[in-house]
Homo-oligomer: A and B are copies of this chain.
Amino acid sequence: MRGAVIHAPGDVRFETLDDPKILMPTDAIIRTAVTCVCGSDLWPWRGLDATDEAHPMGHEYVGFVEEVGAEVTSVKPGQFVVGSFATSDNTCANCRNGWQSNCLNREFMSTCQAEYVRIPNAQGTLVATDEVPGEEFWPGLLAVSDVMGTGWYAADAAEVRPGSTAVVVGDGAVGLCAVIAAKEMGAERIIVMSRHETRQRLARAFGATDIVTERGDEGIARIRELTGGIGADSVLECVGTAQAMRQALHSTRPGGNVGFVGVPHEVRIDGQELFFSHVGLRGGPAPVRRYLPDLIDRVLTGRISPGKVFDLTLPLEQVAEGYEAMDERRAIKTLLKP
């Protein structure tokens, strides 16, 4: 089969690779329906995460079950399945508590920009749809496997409540999905920090009520101005930089909550500052599996359309161009078709 391999910053190649095989009785092999490039894939592409040796890429997928290991009974060959970037047995103590992305047997997916993918912990990870959904739903379901699930978690961790005010820091695909989530959870006011017109438009289409283009202290001042001087009830931090975290913490009202889902890069939080802010803080890789049945349903009933974050579609073999377009901000998110 063929798939994407990163060799060095800026060097992603579409190569012939060994077909994945069942290695454990809990594995499944899927044939990829669609896959995509994630904002977090840009960290190694940009050289901000090291690439010590060449390795496959990709952690988002929907597809058709090809083969299952002896212990997998929940899905069967031919079914259309949605999973998560973090696999989970869905039976351990952490899974039972709803933290499947901290499963004691977790494996992070990392080979999904390919024609076929091995899914560890298939039983606890994959959710099959009742029937094979029309192709028009595939992008939305693909989004659910990562960015939509992550945006949902940001809103959940930030405790968005009906009637509340939410701020979304970051206008990437996760930030835009976070707008969808905040809207679904009943936020009355959704303020998005964004400087890019196409993203602002999509944010508004998803439910944003206000756009703040200022950043740093000016951005914080603007948010406070929009929130009665005290800050927002919930802030959804969808970037992962120290600046974004600072902006999030200072835009939250006393007793409000920050949900942070951008993988933090060199973020340090001062204990005394957090203390006197009374802000609640929770982050992490989203427990997508917990949300899958609900989010799949919302997509298939047309209630939410997170697939709109894909504004560039390429054949899988042009994966490198998909990275480049996102790196240069020509695309919000690239869908790849095998």
Contact = CB atoms under 8 A, between A and B. Distances in A.
A333 to B, nearest CB: 22
A267 B304 CA distance: 42
Interface string A67-107: 00000000000000000000000000110011101101000
Interface stretch (A10-18, A57-65, A170-178, A271-279): A271-279
A69 to B, nearest CB: 26
Interface residues of A, number: 41
Interface string A227-269: 0111000000000001001000000011100001001111111
A229 B245 CA distance: 31
Q: Counting chain B CB atoms within 10 Å of each CB, which of A101, A245, A260, A282 scores highest?
A: A282
A39 interface: no
A20 interface: no
A280 interface: yes
A270 B271 CA distance: 10
A228 to B, nearest CB: 6
- Across the A-B interface, give the 5 residue pairs with the lowest CB-CB distance, nearest first: A267-B271, A264-B271, A102-B254, A280-B282, A99-B255
30 contacts: A93-B228, A93-B253, A94-B230, A94-B254, A97-B254, A98-B255, A99-B254, A99-B255, A102-B254, A102-B255, A104-B230, A242-B271, A254-B284, A260-B271, A260-B275, A263-B275, A264-B271, A264-B275, A265-B272, A267-B271, A267-B272, A268-B268, A268-B271, A269-B271, A269-B274, A271-B283, A276-B284, A278-B283, A278-B284, A281-B281
Interface of A: 93-94, 97-99, 101-102, 104, 157, 228-230, 242, 245, 253-255, 260, 263-272, 274-285, 287
